[in-house]
Amino acid sequence: MNVLLGHFDFVPLIYGVLMFIGIAVMWSKLVSGHWLSLIIDIGVFALVFSLHGGTMAGGFAAMIAALLAGMFLPLMLRK
């Protein structure tokens, strides 16, 4: 008897964890006053999400793009 099912889908779990990380990072930027990085996060997320048509895959891509842009663009602008 096969106790374990072979068709687990971990994508929603990964999507939820990434969404939590994105919200936590944005909240910490809001509380600490890193306004430029927060505005970049929100702007990149809105742009990528609208370009992908508001789908779940588009939201996933937008979260990753916003996290990366929020980390690297403020560093590039300071130099």
Query: Does any domain span residue 64?
Result: yes
* pLDDT tens by residue, 27-41: 999 999 989 889 989
Range of the domain at 54: 34-74
The number of domains in the chain is: 1
Query: Does any domain span residue 48?
Result: yes
Query: Does any domain span residue 17?
Result: no
CA distance 64 to 18: 8
Query: Does any domain span residue 59?
Result: yes
Query: Does any domain span residue 11?
Result: no
Query: Does any domain span residue 55?
Result: yes
Query: Does any domain span residue 79?
Result: no
Angular region, 41: left φ>0, alpha ψ -120 to 50, beta rest: alpha
CB atoms within 10 A of CB 55: 10
Tell whether the torsion through CA atoms of 27, 32, 71 and 52 is positive or negative.
Answer: positive
Query: Does any domain span residue 1?
Result: no
The one-digit pLDDT tens for each residue of the chain (79 residues) are 455 556 677 777 888 888 898 899 999 999 999 898 899 899 999 999 999 888 888 888 898 899 889 888 888 887 6
